[in-house]
Amino acid sequence: MSGLLVATTNRGKVAEYRHLLEGLKVDLITLDEAGISQEADESFQTFEENARSKAMFYAGLSGLPTLADDSGLEVDALGGEPGVRSSRYAGDHATDSDRVNFLLEKLKGVPLEKRQARFKCVIAIASPGGDVKTVSGECEGIIDVEPRGNNGFGYDPIFYLPQYGRTIAELSPELKNEISHRGRAAHKAREVLAALLAGKS
């Protein structure tokens, strides 16, 4: 396996994966670096279906083993929203700030003790031949009443972790990568990739 395509255009995610997969003897290649502009179908109802769809689509397109994830935020008080629509919750062209403000407006008047939420991440790793393996990770927290911190992206500034007394965006990158939904999923993905590198799968 000479290279691993990381199927995202999100620079924050790419940076995290470079750190999370550090030490594996494989070159990470982005969609931009591979010259790929086509978009995979992400219209499914679950994180796993979307992750598998992306991984298989880009592996077939590039001829490279491909890592793709689908992740998002589920808020209990909103019946699990935004879920798979997390990145599009405030509109297709919304910024991170737009999404945060939109979610906070939805939760206006909801007391802190009823703002339980979780980040979920499913990572799919597909071979060009069509084999796919998936792993997942979760991180439980509470939606804060206002954004705090500059060390994250997406909904990180309002995702409060009571055990640390901080939002995810206030954590160091090292701690975030250890406890986040993506960090937990990536830890499992390392094992899958290590097996691929060793020719065991």
Catalytic residue list: 70
Pairing mode of beta strands 66-75, 3-6: parallel
Residue 66 φ/ψ, nearest 5 degrees: -130, 135
The CA dihedral of 76, 91, 106, 152, to the nearest 10 degrees, is 70
* 133 Cβ contact partners less than 8 Å away, ≥ 6 residues apart: 124, 125, 192, 201
Which class for 180: exposed (0-12), middle (13-18), buried (19 or more C-beta within 10 A)?
buried
Q: Is there a contact between 35 and 63 (Cβ–Cβ < 8 Å)?
A: no
- How many H helices and E strands in the chain? 5, 7
186 vs 166: CA distance, rounded Å: 23
CA 45 to chain centre: 16
3-state secondary structure of 200: coil
